[in-house]
Amino acid sequence: YIVTKMGEDWIFLVLLGLTMALVSWSMDYASAKSLASYPMILVMFASLFCHLVSPQAIGSGIPELKTILRGVVLKEYLTLKAFVAKVVGLTAGLGSGMPVGKEGPFVHIASICAAVLSRFMSIFSGVYENGTHNQDLLVCACAVGVATCFAAPVGGKSLLNSLRHRSPNPYGYTDILTVGCAVGVGCCFGTPLGGVLFSIEVTSTYFAVRNYWRGYFAATFSAFIFRVLSVWNKDAVTITALFKTNFRMDFPFDLQELPAFAIIGISCGFLGAFFVYLNRQVVLFMRRPTALTRFLTKHRLIYPGAVTLIIATFTFPPGFGQFMAGELMPRECINSLFDNFTWTKISGSPAPPGLGRSSAWLHPHVSVFVVLLLFCVMKFWMSAVSTTMPIPSGAFMPVFILGAAFGRLVGEIMATLFPNGILFDGIVYRILPGGYAVIGAAAMTGAVTHTVSTAVICFELTGQISHILPMMVAVILANMVAQGLQPSLYDSIIQVKK
Amino acid sequence: YIVTKMGEDWIFLVLLGLTMALVSWSMDYASAKSLASYPMILVMFASLFCHLVSPQAIGSGIPELKTILRGVVLKEYLTLKAFVAKVVGLTAGLGSGMPVGKEGPFVHIASICAAVLSRFMSIFSGVYENGTHNQDLLVCACAVGVATCFAAPVGGKSLLNSLRHRSPNPYGYTDILTVGCAVGVGCCFGTPLGGVLFSIEVTSTYFAVRNYWRGYFAATFSAFIFRVLSVWNKDAVTITALFKTNFRMDFPFDLQELPAFAIIGISCGFLGAFFVYLNRQVVLFMRRPTALTRFLTKHRLIYPGAVTLIIATFTFPPGFGQFMAGELMPRECINSLFDNFTWTKISGSPAPPGLGRSSAWLHPHVSVFVVLLLFCVMKFWMSAVSTTMPIPSGAFMPVFILGAAFGRLVGEIMATLFPNGILFDGIVYRILPGGYAVIGAAAMTGAVTHTVSTAVICFELTGQISHILPMMVAVILANMVAQGLQPSLYDSIIQVKK
């Protein structure tokens, strides 16, 4: 039964996957080429471009999609114009090296793609399948089913409402958007599975298993193409994980380390809630009608410019940046945080071979702890502020880095407390601070977005599943704490925008 | 909002997880101790016990749960009696070494656990929270929501029907059952994530994201306890994967191997559909009113006894079993199929160190291919037949082994075709037949159950995620083929039982 459903729109799903993989890859390519030389110019260009072409392209896009999927009609959010603005703005924003992510915008871009493609496909199917009335009926039923499935929290009223929300396209609209979300996340990191689960958790309350299948198919195809492109371009040898880790497999962690993982989870819960709070306060401050904000609203380019200037000054590598590994681009940052070394042990001594970019964390005069702590504190407010800039920007990646740094900090502390490792069964196992970093990253993103699928995304990103149980424990704890304190980042933005 | 929901029943979820972990572990322990010495006696005991205590305990349990979750009331399926019969029967069945799995029965056992526990909890909450009427209302809404969410394919009528299906317990009944399913799969293999996804795909058409969260929580807890128990028992050094593989991480596979993976996927689709067909034919044959079947119905113990005798004779290690690695228990079988050696290369020469139980596959006079092929063919009909025996028996594990053997066969053929490995970028990489086995296992189980989550279960079982993309491709292809040819095994059983 799923195949008959699939059969109808597999072309659609393949096209969607293909388009998004191409977009994702070429954006990565372009933003890597821009070399982060002129952050201010790039950010201001992004802001100006978005403002002129389509103001709807500003921000993450996930809150808006969540609203659309709940049945509210938001105009101009799924047009080709928004697509262009988002792609160009995001490329410039990423290239600037600011702490902005590509995940949220990608969800938006993929959804636009899906909406546009389905309109395009409906022309063809209109020509070829006009005679069959069956499909129409089926789709009506399907659209109603899906609408019910998403709007169900309201209970009884939903069905009546949903009957009025008939889809104008031969494909269920919400179906398409959900699949679009999955593709967006999936091809952004090359994590098809985590993408599907994350988009389900983030956007919907009830969910059709049919869409799980569709999302899985399209996201796999997309992630596959995305990775094949980088193989062809000789960036990678073969298809492997994006931030591959290489922890020992035989004994990844000991049961006695579990309390530390639990502490990471709980702290990340508090930090995540605080991040959401801080982000909202910044937005609310900018909304308050003071002389300053009136001035900034008039001269739209000044706010992003000023924020970029401040952040760039702080991270300037020869200046203050040397105390917080400012020279690293976000990707290098994650790779180095996930590495296999124990920094507290190698600082002071000559760098071992294969250290690579991780050497940025080792300041000749300042302790590793101070560098990591400074990094966490500085990046915390930087991420919270820079995601409020009027450019396409996601919060997932910055929060991911924050979490990784925090986890690494705990890991290094553990490695100092137990310098000889943990004794178990006669054999001494050393502590892997990189594993703590992975767990911290998953827990922090989970706390900010209120999802547990971030654990899956982490496995797919690192290519190692050895830390699965502590990671799931940490993510669940982080979620419990964060959900008790604050709404998710996306819900918070929805509330503020109302 | 999820936390407030969670807060109410986290005790319930923890208790459920704990109980199931204990059950799972002690069953493994007991069936490992029985040493597979008297298969016939064990199987006949299981059959007799089930027949006397609770005939509802026979079979997998997933088809019945699927029916219950769709709103049909099946009596006696969720009682303590069925629980006892299922646990005892399954332990005996597993100990006999027959190709029967524990996954399906575990889903049933966990669901009974959940149902009984919720009845138990409702006594307490009746005492403590009688004053608050809020919860009652909330639960009504919740129950309606869930009922809608599962029964939605029928469209408009569902809501009206669901209003009549109010849950008598303070917890939504279907909620509980879905969570129970997740826990069942999760603690059976120690794969929390795959368990949640698999149970969602298998049992429901629509599902509430709320239950995803609950399932995730309970399944993680359960899997965690399950694995901690084996650490305490000194079976394992620390918490690692159940069938841990140790493939090279840096270059798990080459893009040029993809066609072979696709072939595995497509073939597994055909084989899976044929398996479902064969299984149904056996059941239908036993149902047909001939003199033979009348005789067998009267003397219930003869059918399982005869089947066991035949299968045990074929697999008898010193006899015919030597040509199909008959000495291996299912777990050893999987471990050896997933190993890192290339059997075609080591057969004939003295066994390398660390080969272990894999040596069972290397017959001094018969080629590895013949052994693998014989294994596939023999286990194919054995699994299809033995799952029709009137004992608690799942089909997941036997199919998993079948798929692994088939994948291994393709892998060994590939290793013979390219004896020097595949040249890429100046470096020659050897082919890993073990990786093919993992992919085959995921594709075959996916084809038989019509799910894609088997890929996730595979990652969690092996502890390695390096083959994610080819595996997802193979699983999707297998699903496409199998869904086009036959219903899933569970749907097939539902159809037959009607």
Q: Chain B partners of A473 at a C-beta cutoff of 8 Å?
A: 220, 224
Q: Chain A partners of B244 at a C-beta cutoff of 8 Å?
A: 249
Q: Which two tokens stand for residue B188?
A: 């059976």
Q: How far is Cα B460 from Cα A38, in angstroms, rounded to an integer?
A: 44
* Listed residue (A223, A217, A463) closest to B467, CA to CA: A463
pLDDT reported for residue A495: 84
Closest CB to A251 among B141, B216, B238: B238
pLDDT reported for residue B154: 26
Q: How far is Cα A145 from Cα A12, in angstroms, rounded to an integer?
A: 21
pLDDT reported for residue A164: 31
pLDDT reported for residue B312: 79
Please give the average per-residue pLDDT across A177-199, as a whole number.
64
Please give the average per-residue pLDDT across A425-438, as a whole number.
78
pLDDT band, residue A100 (cuts 50/70/90): confident
Question: What whole-number percentage of chain A has pLDDT above 90?
Answer: 6
Question: Rounded mean pLDDT of chain A?
Answer: 71
Please give the average per-residue pLDDT across A94-102, as a whole number.
74
- Contact check, Cβ <8 Å, A465/B469: no
| Count of CB atoms situated within 10 Å of the CB of A17 | 28
Q: How far is Cα A130 from Cα A196, in angstroms, rounded to an integer?
A: 32
Q: Chain B partners of A150 at a C-beta cutoff of 8 Å?
A: none
For A2-232, CATH gives 1.10.3080.10
pLDDT reported for residue B466: 74
pLDDT band, residue A80 (cuts 50/70/90): confident
Closest CB to A231 among B255, B450, B456: B255
Report chain B (498 residues): mean pLDDT per 10 consecutive residues: 52 70 73 64 80 78 72 71 83 76 74 70 52 30 28 26 34 58 61 68 63 69 72 60 63 75 92 91 82 75 81 76 74 80 71 68 80 87 84 82 91 83 67 86 90 80 77 87 86 81
Q: Which two tokens stand for residue B314?
A: 């074929």
- Contact check, Cβ <8 Å, B210/A209: no
Res A400 pLDDT > 50: yes
DSSP A59: B
The reply to whether B2-232 and B255-497 are identical in fold is: yes
CA-based torsion, B326, B328, B333, B335: positive or negative: negative
Residue ranges of the domains in chain B?
Answer: 2-232, 255-497
pLDDT reported for residue A267: 93
In the CATH scheme, what is the homologous superfamily, with its name and number, of domain B255-497? Clc chloride channel (1.10.3080.10)
pLDDT band, residue A176 (cuts 50/70/90): low
- Contact check, Cβ <8 Å, B238/A224: no
> Scanning every residue of chain B, which has its alpha carbon at the shortest distance from the alpha carbon of A483?
B3
Q: Which residues pair with B428 in a beta bridge?
A: B423
- Contact check, Cβ <8 Å, A2/B450: yes
| Count of CB atoms situated within 10 Å of the CB of A449 | 27
DSSP B488: -
Q: Chain B partners of A466 at a C-beta cutoff of 8 Å?
A: 240-241, 463
Residue A317 identity: P
Closest CB to A469 among B153, B200, B223: B223
Characterise A464 by phi-psi region: left (phi > 0), alpha (psi -120 to 50), beta (else): beta
Note the ipTM here.
0.72
C-beta separation of B408 from B337 below 8 A: yes
Question: What whole-number percentage of chain A has pLDDT above 70?
Answer: 63
Q: Which two tokens stand for residue A290?
A: 């003071």
**How far from the centroid of its chain's Cα atoms is residue B258's Cα?**
27
- Contact check, Cβ <8 Å, A483/B252: no
Q: Chain A partners of B480 at a C-beta cutoff of 8 Å?
A: 3, 6
Mind listing the pLDDT tens digit for each residue in A1-47? 444 544 556 666 667 667 777 777 777 777 666 555 577 777 778 88
Residues 6+ apart with CB under 8 A from B365: none
3-state secondary structure A71-122: CCCCCCCCCHHHHHHHHHHHHHHHHCCCCCECHHHHHHHHHHHHHHHHHHHH
Report helix, strand or coil for B236. Answer: coil
